[in-house]
Amino acid sequence: MKSDVLIIGGSASGITTALTAKAHYPDKEFLVVRREKEVFIPCGIPYIFGSLENSAQDVIPDQLLTDAGIKLMLDEISSIDCDKKVCKTANNEEINFEKLVIATGSRPVVPGWLKGADLENVFTIPKDKEYIDKAISTLENAQKIVVIGGGFIGVEMSDELNKKGKDVTIVEVLPHLLGIVFDDEVTAKVEEVLSSRGIHIKTGSGVKEILGTDGKVSEVELQSGERLEADAVILSMGYRPNTELAKDSGIEINKFGFIEVDEYMRTSKPDIVAVGDCAEKRDFITRKLSRVMLASVACAESRIAGINLYRWSNLKTFSGTIPVFSTAIGNNGFGAAGITENLARKEGLDVVTAIFQGMDRHPGKLSDMHPQTVKLIAAKKTGMLVGGSVMGGLSTGELVNLIGLAIQNRMTVSSIFTTQMGSHPLLTASPAAYPLIKAAEIALGKIG
């Protein structure tokens, strides 16, 4: 069989590339090949374990593709012949293509050194509905749960399981939860909020071994020697790009295991692009290779790949990864964009920082008002914004997106200070004390 455009992988990046490209090249035939019968909204997976009624509520409908005239095949691509432009599937189908999109995503890390990771009731968090449904069923009968890894998935999983009345302990080898993404003042608040909700936190000590009885997990031993009782364990120790297929096909892979791509998401082979977690990342600020994997980044890459698939424009390139993170614990929102102060100083950047705490609604007597703290990180000589974070209510995510937009457009704290922000008492902070503007004002006073 033949398709003008063949897309390997049907999660967020594959879907976004297909929809974008089909909108710009409607006369081309598109085929998405994926292994999974159903695919998840990736960022929604932790919420299946608490806030959502079941996993079906986090499924992306196939109708998004089929309504756009995009074909879908449930199969697995087993090989790519880059020169002949043909792929073979596990079911012995051969598919010829003009353009190929590799969107094979990532898979959870299970360290080879971690003894006991194969015990019963030890789970990872893959984008696999059948696996997740099994984990949910098992966890219903578990009371003491240890989550190994204090990144976003670990924190969100812990909070969701806590909502179900489970006794949850997070173990993180770094000094603080979310310590790679946030500076210390944010991580301290995250830990304070989690602790207040009844979640136990063990930081600064990694896991030595997962122990079991009769093949089933019973304890987790920390490097400190402490042992934690456990009916179940969640491994949230990161993800690695799923690039074996590309590597076996002769496509260049970088030192971190990602598929090498240029600013148009093109690989080392003609007419083959890669997007999403499997594709190479380069930090927008430092220009160094990055291992950040986010759905927001994946979708941005996918839009670039889709629009440039047949006609490329140098006005539409991927200029680098700007990590924009956000999460919510109860009615508390936490977010960050760009690089942290810690990373900026580690990289030798001469920066100034500014922090302002205000309110996300006005007046302050409104029942849903929440304190909002904004931190900005800017280059000292130019005032260009390189990072920022927000602690506040559930509006935090959109404000962090705004900071990410400012970084991408190389705005300075001066231009932010003079920005005219619309306001409304029920929706935003006061225009007289808008935390983002006030933080920019403080930073402006430190420049020059």
CATH code where residue 53 lies: 3.50.50.60
The one-letter code for the residue type at 359 is: M
Residue 401 belongs to some domain of the structure? yes
pLDDT grade for 448, boundaries at 50, 70 and 90? low
pLDDT in tens, 211-224: 999 999 999 999 99
Q: Choose among 41, 74, 35: nearest CA to 56.
A: 41
Structural domains in the chain (count) = 3
Backbone angles phi, psi at 377, to 5 degrees: -125, 120
C-alpha distance across the termini of the chain, in Å: 64
Q: State whether 258 and 361 are in the same domain.
A: no
Residue 303 belongs to some domain of the structure? yes
pLDDT in tens, 252-282: 999 999 999 999 999 999 999 999 999 999 9
Q: Choose among 238, 157, 154, 190: nearest CA to 336.
A: 190
Would you tell me how many other CB atoms lie within 10 Å of the CB of residue 214? 7
pLDDT at 317 over 90: no
pLDDT at 315 over 90: no
Residue 116 belongs to some domain of the structure? no
pLDDT mean across residues, the chain: 96
CA distance 139 to 158: 12
Return the pLDDT at 114: 96
90-96, long-range: CB < 8 A, 24+ apart: 93/1, 94/1, 95/1, 95/2, 95/3, 95/6, 95/31, 95/33, 96/1, 96/2, 96/3
Q: State whether 280 and 351 are in the same domain.
A: no
Residue 149 belongs to some domain of the structure? yes
Return the pLDDT at 368: 87
Q: Which residues contact 290 (CB under 8 A, 6 or more apart)?
A: 281, 282, 283, 321, 323
- The mean pLDDT value for 128-153 works out to 97
Q: State whether 276 and 291 are in the same domain.
A: yes
Q: State whether 132 and 279 are in the same domain.
A: no
Residue 218 belongs to some domain of the structure? yes
Please tell me which residue, 240 or 312, carries the higher pLDDT value: 240
Distances (CA, A) of 53 to 8, 57, 226: 30, 7, 35
Q: State whether 226 and 156 are in the same domain.
A: yes
Secondary structure (3-state) at 168: strand
pLDDT at 347 over 90: yes
pLDDT grade for 428, boundaries at 50, 70 and 90? very high
Q: State whether 132 and 216 are in the same domain.
A: yes
Vertex 329: Cα angle to 401 and 344 (nearest 5): 45
Residue 78 belongs to some domain of the structure? yes
Q: Which of 193, 213, 237 is the last residue of a domain?
A: 237
Q: State whether 28 and 75 are in the same domain.
A: yes
Token code pair at residue 257: 């295991």
Q: Which of 220, 237, 254 is the last residue of a domain?
A: 237
Q: State whether 435 and 342 are in the same domain.
A: yes
Return the pLDDT at 268: 97
Q: State whether 185 and 285 are in the same domain.
A: no
Residue 113 belongs to some domain of the structure? no
Quote the DSSP letter at residue 276: G
Q: Which of 237, 259, 294 is the last residue of a domain?
A: 237
Q: State whether 354 and 213 are in the same domain.
A: no
Q: State whether 65 and 146 are in the same domain.
A: no
Q: State whether 387 and 280 are in the same domain.
A: no
Find the domain containing 134 and state its range.
122-237
pLDDT grade for 99, boundaries at 50, 70 and 90? very high
pLDDT at 314 over 80: no
Token code pair at residue 363: 């007046």
Residue 229 belongs to some domain of the structure? yes
Q: Could you tell me the pTM of the whole model?
A: 0.95
Return the pLDDT at 326: 96
The DSSP annotation for 203-243 comes to: ES--EEEEEEETTEEEEEEETTS-EEE-SEEEE---EEE--
CA distance 265 to 306: 9
The one-letter code for the residue type at 293 is: M
- The mean pLDDT value for 140-164 works out to 97
Q: Choose among 341, 9, 361: nearest CA to 182.
A: 341
pLDDT at 127 over 90: yes
CA 190 to chain centre: 18
